[in-house]
Copies of this chain bind each other. A is one copy, B any other.
Amino acid sequence: MELSAKSEYALLAMLQLALGHGKGEPMQIKEIAQCQSIPDRYLEQLLADLRRHGLVKSQRGARGGYLLAREPFAIHLLEIVQCIEGQDENETAPNTLEASIVREAWDESRRAAEQVLKGHTLQKLCELHDRRQSTVMYYI
């Protein structure tokens, strides 16, 4: 039930890309890594995963970097986590009546969690981010 560093890094990187989205320029691994205090060599692998799953696209060479593959309102948190965490589908069937009952309860709980993540898009997070930031500015 805990958020792994891996997933948190991926979510942060995607949020960072979403915040920079609209400028059209790609964002580099190093830049993202520095902003969010993520080891860059590790983030590299996560971004490669995200690219293979079609959530971001990359541009190689000088002034290259990463861009969101879709608009921020069309990317929700569940797909980010699922793509990075690997959705292992090969679970063995329950072999007792009790096991199937326990599994059902667990599945219901998991679905509830997934629905919440599905409800959060990168755009929503960006809007929340902007509101927070302007509030902070107000106090300064």
How many copies of this protein are present in the complex?
Answer: 2
B129 touches A101 (CB 8 A): yes
- Residues from chain B with a CB closer than 8 A to the CB of A102 are 8, 11-12, 15, 125
Contact A99 B36 (CB under 8 A): yes
On whether the beta carbons of B1 and A85 are closer than 8 Å, the reply is yes
CA A110 – CA B7 in complex, angstroms? 14
Q: Say yes or no: A12-B99 contact (C-beta < 8 A), given A85-B1, A112-B112.
A: yes
Pick the residue among B11, B15, B99, B112 that contacts A116 (CB under 8 A).
B112
The stretch among A46-54, A58-66, A90-98 that forms the contact with chain B is A90-98
A6 interfacial contact with B, CB 8 Å? no
- Docked CA distance A8–B85 (Å): 20
Question: Does A115 touch B at the CB level, under 8 Å?
Answer: yes
Q: State whether A1 and B110 are in contact (beta carbons under 8 Å apart), knowing that A8-B102, A102-B125 are contacts in the complex.
A: yes
Q: In the complex, A56 Cα to B112 Cα: how many Å?
A: 29
Cβ of A15 and Cβ of B98 under 8 Å apart?
A: yes
Query: B residues within 8 A CB of A132?
Result: 97, 101
A74 at the interface (CB under 8 A from B): no
Residues in A lying within 8 Å of B, measured CB to CB: 1-3, 8, 11-12, 15-16, 19, 35-37, 77, 85, 88, 91, 95-99, 101-103, 105-106, 108-110, 112-117, 120, 125, 128-129, 132-133, 136
